[in-house]
A and B are shown apart, each in its own frame.
Chain A
Amino acid sequence: ETGVTQTPRHLVMGMTNKKSLKCEQHLGHNAMYWYKQSAKKPLELMFVYSLEERVENNSVPSRFSPECPNSSHLFLHLHTLQPEDSALYLCASSQDWGSGVSTDTQYFGPGTRLTVL
């Protein structure tokens, strides 16, 4: 496997379910990101982890809970979601979060298409 992978690719869940999205990067990067992509809206940054430490939380509701057990894996735990949470959830990684020198390119996974019924 190369690049950034995400599982599952599609997920349908009820509002009372608990599920998790998984992201894995095979690039040796130190920073990982969760984005939400809703129809007709710009990409929204949700969380950023750098060296397994959360460095950014963009006012995301607590029903979304990220976890980064190591620099290669990132999870997004979901519980009691709302229908408006239906979206494409994208994971990305980059070499670093804040090098102070330049902005590192972010590499994206294919996304998980989430539908909340």
Chain B
Amino acid sequence: AQSVTQPDIHITVSEGASLELRCNYSYGATPYLFWYVQSPGQGLQLLLKYFSGDTLVQGIKGFEAEFKRSQSSFNLRKPSVHWSDAAEYFCAVGPSLSGGYNKLIFGAGTRLAVHP
């Protein structure tokens, strides 16, 4: 079955520190992978996506993610975190094998807190 696992429910980092959020997936074919961010009271905003090609993907707000097929991972990174990065981050995989090209499977999310 397809699934997305975000092992860390909560992460706290200091402002200026580096960040890595983990995402592991289980998928029967080449996946499409996404990272979304949700600020309090807001909807989800796309940070970056991987469809094919270069396995290191650059996104908005200084984020990047690396697709590692051998590890079934798509970890999100940022070299220096800002207080405004405090939010919840969701990894998603698609399309769903059960039908529908745009049916995404989401992880449970990682809540990021940033200390000054």
Task: Confirm or deny: A108 has a beta carbon within 8 angstroms of a beta carbon on chain B.
Answer: yes
Interface majority SS (helix, strand, loop, mixed), chain A: loop
B36 / chain A contacts, CB cutoff of 8 Å? 108
With an 8 Å Cβ cutoff, the count of chain B residues facing the other chain is 26
One of B20-28, B79-87, B101-109 at the interface: B101-109
Task: Confirm or deny: A117 has a beta carbon within 8 angstroms of a beta carbon on chain B.
Answer: no
Task: Confirm or deny: B44 has a beta carbon within 8 angstroms of a beta carbon on chain A.
Answer: yes
One of B11-19, B45-53, B60-68 at the interface: B45-53
Query: CB distance A102 to B32 under 8 Å?
Result: yes
Query: CB distance B42 to A96 under 8 Å?
Result: no
Minimum distance in angstroms from B101 CB to a CB of chain A: 4
B32 / chain A contacts, CB cutoff of 8 Å? 102-103
Give the residue of B34, B49, B101, B105 whose beta carbon is less than 8 angstroms from that of A98.
B101
Query: CB distance B43 to A90 under 8 Å?
Result: yes
Minimum distance in angstroms from B56 CB to a CB of chain A: 19
Minimum distance in angstroms from B92 CB to a CB of chain A: 8
Q: Once the chains are docked, how many angstroms separate the CA of A112 from the CA of B12?
A: 28
| A residues at B contact (CB < 8 Å) | 4, 6, 31, 40-43, 45, 48, 55-56, 90, 92, 94, 96-100, 102-111
Interface pairs (28), CB distance under 8 Å:
A4-B43, A6-B43, A42-B107, A42-B108, A43-B44, A43-B92, A43-B106, A45-B103, A45-B104, A48-B102, A48-B103, A55-B100, A56-B100, A92-B44, A96-B101, A98-B101, A100-B101, A103-B94, A103-B104, A104-B102, A106-B102, A106-B104, A107-B46, A108-B43, A109-B43, A110-B41, A111-B42, A111-B43
| B residues at A contact (CB < 8 Å) | 4, 32, 34, 36, 41-46, 49, 51, 90, 92, 94-95, 100-109
Seed contacts A43-B92, A98-B100, A109-B43; 20 additional CB < 8 Å A-B pairs: A31-B102, A42-B4, A42-B108, A45-B103, A48-B100, A56-B103, A92-B44, A97-B101, A98-B101, A98-B102, A102-B51, A103-B94, A106-B46, A106-B102, A108-B43, A108-B44, A110-B41, A110-B42, A110-B43, A111-B43
